[in-house]
Structure 1
Amino acid sequence: MEIQLQQLVPIPLKEKFSQRPSNIWNTGIAFRAGDWIKIVAPSGTGKTTLMNILYKVRHDYEGSVKWDNRDLKSITGDDLAKLRQQNVSVIFQDLRLFENLTARENIELNRVLQKPFYEAATIDDMAGLLGISHILEQRAGVCSYGEQQRIAIIRALVQPFEWLIMDEPFSHLDNANTHKAADLIATECKKRKAGFVLTDLDEDSLFPYTHVYSL
């Protein structure tokens, strides 16, 4: 599955971005199946906006986004649900956990969206790898932000995907936990031959990126 961006620019930021160079905005670019893409940009340049456009949370843009030559704006209803359940998984910057559900319940919601990709025990295995086994039965709302970030990472990994969209997924993790999470993500992407698009403030060497772009 290929992602194609053509002359994409968010309408609220159009004037701001019209005069500045970018590898992404106001250009033509394609992310090939299996690519590991890093997008580096300072705050306020549209990283979260781009991620929300790719996942069709935002619609206020000019240009086009295509998933396998199909314009994203034409993908609606059951087709959009299928795309999100089978082809694309996401780690939002604001996480979007259900605070009154436990960590396990938040993850389980994604695991059982369709025919489960993994057995329920995989939640415990991944939680052990990321050091959050002890909070699985706690309400997500009482967990620290770093713990919530790891819950969101596992939630994204227990469902099927060809592309993983990640908006600053390690922003509240220390170096050791960042590397553990990155290793788990790399393992899962290699297993599925999946691609990802990851945004962050700075460059890093966490993954062998296929391409690194400036926003």
Structure 2
Amino acid sequence: MQIELKNIAPKFLEKEKIANSQVWQKKLFFEKGRKIQIVAPSGSGKTSLIHFLYGLRNDYAGSIFFNNKNVKDFDNIQLAKMRAIHMSIVFQDLRLFKEHNTFQNIEIKRALAPYHSVSQISEMAERLGIKNKLTQQAETCSYGEQQRIAIIRALQQPFDLIVLDEPFSHLDENNSKIALNLIEEEAAQRNASIILADLHELPFFKADTTIYL
């Protein structure tokens, strides 16, 4: 899988922020198997960039190429395929189904494009310290617990790239490291890339490349 950004820039962002960015209006190529950290202060367009990469929005100038094809030209079937087997994501707002319990939230994703067995959901939950929450309604879990649910859910599918938008914002450093270790192990199994975007540089994430948005 290859992703290339060619001179993209949000149509709504101030010119000064675009000019000072290492992403906007630049040419970037994300190689398979690499770890990329994007440091993005509030208001710099971090979440917009994540949504552009995932094909959720196209209100930007320039082009994003996925395997040499412009994402703006994808139809719904192509977008669904990209998201099902090539790109996984942890949204900043998590997007859990709060009417379902923790296990159901994870299993819904796993069943769509299974990479792991059902039993591994329990193993991952135990590793991240939320095994006792699997039967609990997602909306009653703390935000840090919900973040771990979203991380486990994202790891259930095949992917060549996993994109994470402030995935550890409500976790302490120890739990953040445990979750990151799991993410890195899963990415290594797939020879997949990691793009992790956060407000600040995370010292425990040993990225191959750090880019300042």
Measured after TM superposition, the shift of residue 207 of structure 1 is 3.0
* 2:15 aligned partner: 15
Give the equivalent residue in structure 1 for 2:141: 143
Unaligned runs of at least 5 residues, structure 2: none
| Cα drift, residue 13 of structure 1 | 1.0
- In the alignment, structure 1 residue 94 sits paired with structure 2 residue 85: no
Structure 2: distance between partners of 1:61 and 1:70: 16
Superposed CA deviations along residues 7-61 of structure 1, whole A, max 9, x for unmatched, are: 100111153534x321100111111111111001211111111001100111111
In structure 1, distance between residues paired with 2:205 and 2:3: 20
Q: Is 1:133–2:121 an aligned residue pair?
A: no
Whichever residue aligns with residue 104 of structure 1, its letter is F
Q: Deviations over 1:138-165 (max 9, x none)?
A: 1111111000000000000011100001
Q: In structure 1, what is the Cα distance between the partners aligned to 2:16 and 2:71?
A: 24
Which stretches in structure 1 are left out of the alignment for 5+ residues? none
Whichever residue aligns with residue 99 of structure 1, its letter is: K
Residue identity over aligned pairs, in percent, reads 45
1:111-160 superposed Cα distances (whole Å, 9 cap, x missing partner) = 0113x211100100000000001111111111110000000000000111
Shift in Å at residue 176 of structure 1? Answer: 1.3
Aligned residue type for 1:154: I
Letter in 1 for 2:124: M
Matched, 1:103 2:102: yes
Contact 1:87-1:162 within 8 A present in 2 as well: yes
Aligned partners of 1:186 and 1:207 also within 8 Å: no
For 1:56-205, list aligned pairs within 5 A. Answer: 56-114=55-113, 116-205=114-203
Instruction: Determine the structure 2 residue equivalent to 1:30.
Output: 29
The answer to whether the Cα contact below 8 Å between 1:91 and 1:169 also exists between their aligned partners in 2 is yes
Tell me, in whole angstroms, the C-alpha distance in 2 between the residues paired with 1:61 and 1:14: 13
Deviation at 1:75, TM superposition (A): 1.4
Distance 2:40 2:117 in 1: 37
Length-normalised TM-score, structure 2: 0.97
Superposed CA offset, 1:42-90 (max 9, x none): 1111111100110011111110011111100111221111110100000
After superposition, the CA RMSD in angstroms is 1.1
**Contact 1:39-1:198 within 8 A present in 2 as well:** yes
Task: Tell me which amino acid in the other structure corresponds to 1:160.
Answer: P
Aligned equivalents of 1:112, 1:146: Cα separation in 2? 24
Partner of 2:208: 210
For 2:53 and 2:78, locate their aligned partners in 1 and report how far apart those are by CA, in whole Å.
15
